[in-house]
């Protein structure tokens, strides 16, 4: 069986407290330090985090609940987040709930049983009901990418400024003379969907254009959804002259649909996409798009969580809003 501190104590002749202090950075006599170190080697001692957790009442584990692990946008966030968290000696348990609110709730409970110190959630259930237990248990909750209105003041969050991002993209198009601008959104009841819609509507109104539902489609944030949405937009008697597609997968689908229909970008149609995924950098390098700073989102999320974990007295719930960037490509041109 694995060696314990008691074994070290016996081996070195020192008391438990001394051994414990040694591991926790206390002051221990040089001689005893060496004694302990050699005993550790000899007995292959590995500290037992479980016992420590029980005593200190913190597991140094952060639970992360996301809608989908097979999603480049999400994994790039998680990747940079986990990196920082682990450097601070926090482990991350990731639960993929497959965009299913029921699974999401189970995941939260699962993590609560394991006494995670904090919860990071890209929420599937927009009502936030799944987080109630965590909140009432006093576990710090940090939302990523999607805000939940009802939880305002009770949780922290890291999001991008979706309204501005969308506004900026659409503004760009109206400035180039476009007025029939197709919008491809995600699922209707998601936070990002409604925010991006707002930005679109604002930009149009500002330019004196009356928005019409005809030009708005919901593509479910999937490639297939984007594909279908664009096909359907192309069927309008008055075709849009420009398109704004609001996430990466749908942008891929949209480009595919245009390609299949033999529509040239930007000659026949201007397109602004969303999200830049490392892997594809070069493939769609000539696409004009809104770029979210995934790296920073991950980093800010980790740091904010660390911060919440530190202020155990009065947790201050902050909302960090990161801004996006419009990357100029060659998929947009002025309306003739």
Per CB under 7 A, residues contacting DNA are 1-2, 4-6, 13-21, 23-24, 26-29, 31-32, 47-48, 51-52, 54-57
By the 8 A CB rule, do 174 and 181 touch? yes
CA–CA dist 179, 174 (Å, integer):
6
Nearer to a copy of itself, 110 or 211 (CB): 110
Q: According to the binding rule CB under 8 A, does residue 312 interact with a copy of itself?
A: no
Kindly state the DSSP code that residue 215 receives in the 8-state scheme. Answer: G
How far is residue 263 CA from its own chain's centroid? 34
The nearest distance, CB 22 to DNA, in angstroms, is 8
DSSP per-residue string spanning 140-201: -EEEES---GGGBTTBEEEEE-HHHHHHHHHHHHHHTT---EEEEES-TTSHHHHHHHHHHH
| CA-closest candidate to residue 244, choices 195, 191, 290 | 290
Binding to a copy of itself (CB under 8 A) within 137-156 occurs at 137
Query: Which 167-226 residues touch a copy of itself, going by CB under 8 A?
Result: 223
Closest approach of DNA to the CB of residue 225, in Å: 44
Residue 308 makes CB contacts below 8 A (sequence gap 6+) with 118, 140, 142, 156, 315, 316
Among 16, 37, 42, 48, binds a copy of itself (CB under 8 A): 48
How far is it, in rounded angstroms, from Cα 188 to Cα 192?
A: 9
Nearer to a copy of itself, 2 or 335 (CB): 2
Which is nearer to a copy of itself, 95 or 184 (by Cβ)?
95
Q: Are 68 and 222 in contact (CB under 8 A)?
A: no
CB 291, CB 275: distance < 8 Å: yes
How far apart are alpha carbons 52 and 197 in whole angstroms? Answer: 49
CA–CA dist 110, 323 (Å, integer): 34
The verdict on 112 binding a copy of itself (CB under 8 A) reads yes
- Smaller CB distance to a copy of itself: residue 23 or 179? 23
Q: Which is nearer to a copy of itself, 50 or 235 (CB)?
A: 50
- Please tell me whether residue 321 binds a copy of itself under the rule CB under 8 A: no
Contact 222, 253 (CB under 8 A): yes
| CA–CA dist 301, 190 (Å, integer) | 20
Could you tell me how many residues of this chain bind a copy of itself (CB under 8 A)? 52
Q: Binding segment for a copy of itself among 24-32, 62-70, 121-129, 183-191 (CB under 8 A)?
A: 62-70
Look up tokens 């892997």; give the residue: 279
In the complex with DNA, which residue's Cβ is closer, 29 or 312? 29
Nearest-angstrom CA–CA distance, 4 and 333: 70
69 binds, among a copy of itself, DNA, none (CB under 5 to 8 A by kind): a copy of itself
Q: Tell me the two tokens of residue 294.
A: 């995934």
Shortest distance, CB of residue 112 to DNA, whole angstroms? 12
Nearest to DNA of 54, 236 (CB atom): 54
What is the enclosing helix (H) or strand (E) of 63? strand 61-66
What residue 321 binds from DNA, a copy of itself, none (CB within 5 to 8 A, per partner kind)? none
Among 144, 185, 243, 252, binds a copy of itself (CB under 8 A): 252
Interface ranges with a copy of itself (CB under 8 A): 2, 44, 46-51, 53-54, 59, 61, 68-70, 72, 75-76, 78-79, 82-83, 86, 89, 91-96, 98, 107, 110-115, 133, 136-137, 223, 227, 249, 252, 256, 278-283
């Amino acid at each position: 069986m694995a060696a314990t501190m008691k074994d070290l104590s016996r081996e070195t002749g020192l008391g438990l407290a001394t051994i414990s202090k040694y591991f926790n950075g206390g002051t221990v006599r040089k001689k005893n330090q060496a004694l302990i170190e050699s005993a550790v080697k000899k007995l292959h001692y590995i500290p037992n985090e479980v016992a420590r957790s029980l005593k200190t009442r913190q597991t140094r584990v952060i639970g992360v609940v996301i809608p989908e692990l097979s999603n480049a946008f999400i994994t790039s966030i998680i990747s940079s987040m986990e990196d920082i968290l682990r450097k601070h000696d926090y482990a991350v348990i990731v639960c993929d709930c497959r965009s299913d609110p029921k699974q999401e709730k189970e995941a939260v409970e699962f993590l609560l049983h394991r006494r995670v110190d904090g919860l990071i959630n890209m929420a599937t259930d927009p009502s936030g009901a799944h987080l109630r237990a965590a909140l009432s248990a006093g576990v710090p909750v940090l939302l990523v990418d999607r805000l939940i209105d009802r939880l305002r003041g009770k949780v922290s969050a890291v999001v991008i400024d979706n309204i501005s991002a969308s506004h900026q993209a659409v503004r760009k198009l109206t400035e180039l003379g476009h007025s029939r601008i197709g919008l491809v959104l995600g699922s209707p009841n998601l936070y990002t969907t409604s925010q991006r819609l707002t930005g679109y509507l604002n930009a149009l109104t500002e330019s004196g254009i009356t928005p019409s539902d005809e030009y708005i489609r919901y593509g479910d944030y999937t490639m297939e959804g984007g594909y279908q949405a664009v096909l359907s937009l192309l069927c309008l008697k008055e075709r849009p002259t420009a398109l704004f597609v609001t996430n990466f997968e749908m942008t891929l689908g949209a480009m595919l649909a245009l390609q299949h229909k033999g529509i040239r970008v930007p000659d026949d149609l201007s397109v602004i996409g969303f999200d830049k995924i490392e892997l594809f950098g070069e493939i769609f390098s000539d696409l004009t798009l809104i770029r979210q700073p995934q790296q920073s989102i991950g980093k800010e999320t980790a740091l904010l969580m660390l911060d919440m974990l530190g202020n155990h007295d009065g947790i201050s719930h902050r909302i960090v809003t990161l801004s996006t960037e419009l990357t100029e490509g060659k998929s947009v041109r002025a309306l003739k």
